């Protein structure tokens, strides 16, 4: 095995991780703040990519295409929000329904399952052909997004989303329209995922109808890895802005680890299996840790004769 | 102030669990009334408070606060008029948010919430003073997460939140039932103090007959989703627990089925 090839893969992994970090921030909003496991994102990422690539192919500036990718994502979040709040469909199912619907919509946007956009013909915002520039650009995106999120969740409106995610009964008793707060969070979250999709499609030079498959797992991985790492390093001093930053760091670590196991020789078709196992372990650890402190087995050992 | 006109509520209609929870309740509260509500298990005490709060719509009848019909308003809109404290200390606060953030949420009850800061510097100073009055040491922990507080501390905080923006009506739903006796007494006397100082109109559901007699200026007893006894003023002050039990048996024709109320 050639260590040099692993090193050469690193900048690309970092760039990819940074782009997926934007999408992971979207997942953080729903999963952590709103307490809503939103599976829409698998579809939204593809929608963001499809919208961005088709606009660029039709002569729109790549930067403007990103704004529309963001807007398309927001629209997807709005649909999930309406399915859940107005039509009373359970959260996970609402997300799955939108996600499935988006597959057809993404196909219709692109006209076929894959559309390429070449960095030679268009002045793309990011591209894997210019990785250092892509890293700088994406870091700027992340800094601005984290700053805006930090501000937003400190506002009165941001407070309503946080309260709704924590205790909906209390929120309503304090005059918060919890349904509206849920829709707001879903719209914002999916907007970010759409934006990440638009960036990712430009980065890899094409949009594929399957590019969002499993995105939620990568998003969760980033959120959880970031949280575990952030709390390990900063403990109780980890504030909100730190948590957001660590989501992005979590995404980078995820892609670095992926590059590493690919380099070790894991077949790329087993990637998703590997991701699912990693996320399962990270999700299970806090639960098992709590159980190791108090369990029936332990009680029998301590109390039984 | 509050006018409840002949409200009905049935849960699980058409199933084997059908329950007529409210059977034509009418009640008029005057400004400054502090009403204690007692009754056996399943009498409809909490259901009555939930009907006022708008947790679900009533089947028929109407609810009017200060001349405004609120029957058709959802829970979050009625919150403008109501302060609420619940039985479960977990229910009234947001555990993952800071003490001062919880207060800031409550301060904006009934106001539109936009993109201004969720909490301002002046508010923090004000909350510091208010928390100091509680005498629980919370003023020094304003940025602590509420989840770290004890049940009694959370109920005291919820009480403060419920009255931070003066409500037209304060609803206390067995808000001391989950606390140990000493803490319960403290939270109860705090409730008395806040109600008196702010001249609030309040309803307090309790399992404790003695508390129901000692606190407030009016007492209502419920059974089978109806108000069966309504007493106020001097007459209420002179009540004893035995009187109440006798009254209950006399009116309902059954024994008072609530060990908790009898033992307390």
> Which pLDDT band holds residue A293 (cuts at 50, 70, 90)?
confident
Inter-chain contacts counted by CB atoms under 8 A, chains A and B:
83
Contacts of B96 in chain A (CB under 8 A): 162, 165-166
Model pLDDT, residue A302: 78
Mode of pairing for the β-strands spanning B169-173 and B202-205: parallel
Residue numbers of the domain that contains A29? 3-211
Please choose, from the candidates A247, A218, A216, the residue with its C-alpha nearest in 3D space to the C-alpha of residue A80. Answer: A216
Collect all residues from B whose CB is shorter than 8 A from any CB in A. Answer: 53, 75-77, 79-80, 82, 84, 86, 90-97, 101, 104-106, 108-111, 113-119, 161
Contacts of A172 in chain B (CB under 8 A): 75-76, 79
* A206 interface with B at CB cutoff 8 Å: no
Residue A303 lies in a domain: no
Q: Is the pLDDT of residue A188 over 80?
A: yes
Q: Is the pLDDT of residue A122 over 60?
A: yes
Q: Which residue of B has its CA nearest to A173?
A: B79
Q: Is the pLDDT of residue B2 over 80?
A: yes
Mode of pairing for the β-strands spanning B82-85 and B169-173: parallel
Contacts of A169 in chain B (CB under 8 A): 86, 91
Min CA distance, B76 vs chain A (Å)? 4
pLDDT tens, residue by residue, B116-151: 999 999 999 999 999 999 999 999 999 999 999 999
Exposure string over B197-230, b if 16+ CB within 10 A, otherwise e: eeebbbbbbbbbbebbbebbebbbbbbbbbbbbe
Q: Is the pLDDT of residue B262 over 70?
A: no
Q: What is the mean pLDDT of residues A92-115?
A: 97
Q: Which residue of B has its CA nearest to A33?
A: B96
pLDDT tens, residue by residue, B177-201: 999 999 999 999 999 999 999 999 9
Model pLDDT, residue A286: 78
- For chain B, the average pLDDT equals 93
Model pLDDT, residue A282: 83
Q: Nearest by CB to A166, which of B75, B97, B119? A: B97
Q: What is the mean pLDDT of residues A204-214?
A: 96
Find the DSSP H helices in A237-270: 240-264
Decide if B160 contacts B134 (C-beta within 8 A): yes
Please choose, from the candidates A67, A63, A65, A72, the residue with its C-alpha nearest in 3D space to the C-alpha of residue A45. Answer: A72
> Which pLDDT band holds residue B3 (cuts at 50, 70, 90)?
very high
Yes or no, beta carbons of A156 and B114 under 8 Å apart: yes
Model pLDDT, residue A289: 82
Picking from B53, B75, B123 by the largest number of A CB atoms within 10 A of its own CB, the best residue to mutate is B75
Contacts of B164 (CB under 8 A, 6+ apart): B103, B106, B107, B109, B130
Question: What six digits make up the tokens of B217?
Answer: 């200026």
Q: What is the mean pLDDT of residues A190-212?
A: 97
Min CA distance, B108 vs chain A (Å)? 8
pLDDT tens, residue by residue, B98-118: 999 999 999 999 999 999 999
Residue A56 lies in a domain: yes
Q: What is the mean pLDDT of residues B220-230?
A: 94
Q: Return the higher-pLDDT residue of A164 and B241.
A: A164
Q: Is the pLDDT of residue A54 over 90?
A: yes
Q: In the CATH scheme, what is the homologous superfamily, with its name and number, of domain B2-81+167-263?
A: P-loop containing nucleotide triphosphate hydrolases (3.40.50.300)
Contacts of A155 in chain B (CB under 8 A): 114-118
Residue A235 lies in a domain: no
In angstroms, rounded to a whole number, what is the distance separating the alpha carbons of residues B207 and B46? 11
Yes or no, beta carbons of B108 and A175 under 8 Å apart: yes
In angstroms, rounded to a whole number, what is the distance separating the alpha carbons of residues B113 and A163? 13
Q: Is the pLDDT of residue A236 over 90?
A: no
- For chain A, the average pLDDT equals 94
Where do the structural domains in chain B lie, given as residue ranges?
2-81+167-263
Question: What six digits make up the tokens of A104?
Answer: 């057809």
Min CA distance, A52 vs chain B (Å)? 29
Q: Is the pLDDT of residue A233 over 80?
A: yes
Model pLDDT, residue A22: 98
Provide ipTM, 2 decimals: 0.93
> Which pLDDT band holds residue A299 (cuts at 50, 70, 90)?
confident
Q: Is the pLDDT of residue B260 over 70?
A: no
Yes or no, beta carbons of B118 and A156 under 8 Å apart: yes
In angstroms, rounded to a whole number, what is the distance separating the alpha carbons of residues A49 and A73? 10
Please choose, from the candidates A232, A256, A258, the residue with its C-alpha nearest in 3D space to the C-alpha of residue A246. Answer: A232
In angstroms, rounded to a whole number, what is the distance separating the alpha carbons of residues B125 and A129? 55
Model pLDDT, residue B252: 76
Q: B121-134 and B151-164 helices cross at what angle (nearest 10)?
A: 130
Q: Which residue of B has its CA nearest to A180?
A: B76
Percent of chain B beyond pLDDT 70? Answer: 96
Yes or no, beta carbons of A163 and B109 under 8 Å apart: no
Determine which of A90-94, A265-269, B123-127 has the lowest per-residue pLDDT on average: A265-269
Model pLDDT, residue A1: 64
Contacts of B52 in chain A (CB under 8 A): none
Q: Is the pLDDT of residue B255 over 80?
A: no
How many structural domains comprise chain A?
1
Q: Is the pLDDT of residue B258 over 70?
A: no
B151-155: list long-range contacts, CB under 8 Å, 24+ apart: B151/B89, B151/B178, B151/B179, B151/B183, B152/B89, B152/B179, B152/B180, B152/B183, B152/B184, B152/B186, B152/B187, B154/B89, B154/B90, B154/B92, B154/B93, B155/B85, B155/B89, B155/B92, B155/B179, B155/B183, B155/B187
Contacts of B144 in chain A (CB under 8 A): none
Yes or no, beta carbons of B113 and A156 under 8 Å apart: yes
Min CA distance, A290 vs chain B (Å)? 18
Percent of chain A beyond pLDDT 70? Answer: 99
**CA B76 distance to own-chain centroid:** 16
Model pLDDT, residue B130: 96
**CA B170 distance to own-chain centroid:** 6
Find the DSSP H helices in B148-240: 151-164, 181-197, 209-214, 233-237
């Amino acid at each position: 095995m050639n260590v040099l090839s692993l090193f050469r893969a690193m900048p690309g992994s970092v760039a990819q991780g940074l782009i997926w970090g934007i999408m992971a921030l979207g997942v953080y909003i729903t999963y952590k703040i709103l307490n809503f496991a939103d599976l829409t994102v698998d579809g939204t990422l593809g929608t963001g990519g499809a919208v961005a690539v088709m606009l660029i192919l039709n002569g729109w500036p790549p930067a403007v295409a990103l704004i529309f990718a963001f807007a398309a994502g927001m629209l997807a979040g709005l649909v999930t929000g309406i399915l859940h709040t107005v039509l009373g469909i359970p959260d996970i199912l609402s997300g799955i329904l939108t996600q499935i619907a988006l597959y057809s919509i993404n196909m219709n946007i692109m006209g076929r399952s894959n559309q390429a956009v070449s960095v030679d013909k268009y002045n793309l915002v990011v591209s894997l052909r210019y990785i250092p520039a892509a890293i700088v650009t994406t870091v700027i995106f992340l800094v601005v997004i984290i700053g805006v999120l930090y501000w937003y969740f400190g506002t009165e409106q941001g407070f309503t989303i946080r309260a709704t995610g924590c205790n909906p009964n209390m929120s309503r008793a304090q005059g918060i329209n919890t349904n509206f707060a849920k829709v707001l969070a879903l719209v914002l979250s999916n907007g970010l995922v759409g934006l990440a999709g638009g960036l990712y499609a430009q980065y890899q030079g094409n949009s594929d109808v399957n590019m969002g498959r499993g995105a939620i797992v990568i998003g969760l991985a980033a959120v959880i890895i970031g949280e575990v790492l952030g709390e390990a390093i900063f403990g109780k001093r980890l504030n909100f802005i730190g948590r957001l930053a660590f989501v992005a760091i979590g995404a980078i670590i995820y892609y670095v680890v992926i590059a590493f196991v690919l380099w070790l020789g894991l077949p790329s078709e087993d990637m998703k299996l590997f991701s699912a196992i990693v996320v399962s372990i990270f999700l299970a650890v806090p639960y098992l840790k709590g159980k190791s402190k108090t369990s029936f087995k332990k009680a029998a050992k301590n109390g039984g004769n | 102030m509050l006018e409840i006109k002949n409200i009905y509520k049935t849960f699980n209609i058409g199933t084997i669990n059908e329950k007529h929870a409210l059977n034509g309740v009418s009640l008029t509260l005057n400004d400054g009334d502090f009403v204690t509500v007692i009754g056996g298990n399943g009498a409809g005490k909490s259901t009555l408070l939930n009907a006022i709060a708008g947790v679900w719509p009533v089947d028929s009848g109407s609810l009017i606060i200060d001349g405004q019909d609120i029957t058709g308003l959802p829970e979050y809109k009625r919150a403008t008029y109501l302060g609420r404290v619940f039985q479960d200390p977990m229910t009234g606060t947001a555990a993952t948010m800071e003490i001062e953030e919880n207060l800031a949420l409550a301060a904006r009850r009934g106001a539109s919430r936009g993109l201004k800061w969720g909490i301002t510097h002046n508010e923090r100073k004000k909350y510091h003073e208010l928390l100091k009055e509680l005498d629980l040491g919370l003023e020094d922990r304003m940025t602590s997460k509420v989840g770290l507080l004890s049940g009694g501390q959370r109920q005291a905080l919820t009480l403060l939140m419920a009255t931070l923006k003066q409500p037209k009506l304060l609803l206390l739903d067995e808000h001391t039932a989950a606390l140990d006796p000493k803490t319960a007494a403290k939270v109860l006397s705090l409730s008395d103090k806040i109600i008196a100082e702010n001249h609030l109109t309040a309803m307090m559901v309790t399992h404790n007959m003695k508390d129901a007699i000692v606190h407030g200026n009016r007492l209502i007893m419920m059974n089978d989703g109806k108000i069966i006894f309504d007493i106020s003023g001097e007459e209420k002050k002179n009540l004893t627990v035995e009187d109440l039990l006798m009254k209950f048996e006399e009116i309902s024709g059954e024994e008072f089925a609530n060990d908790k109320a009898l033992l307390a």
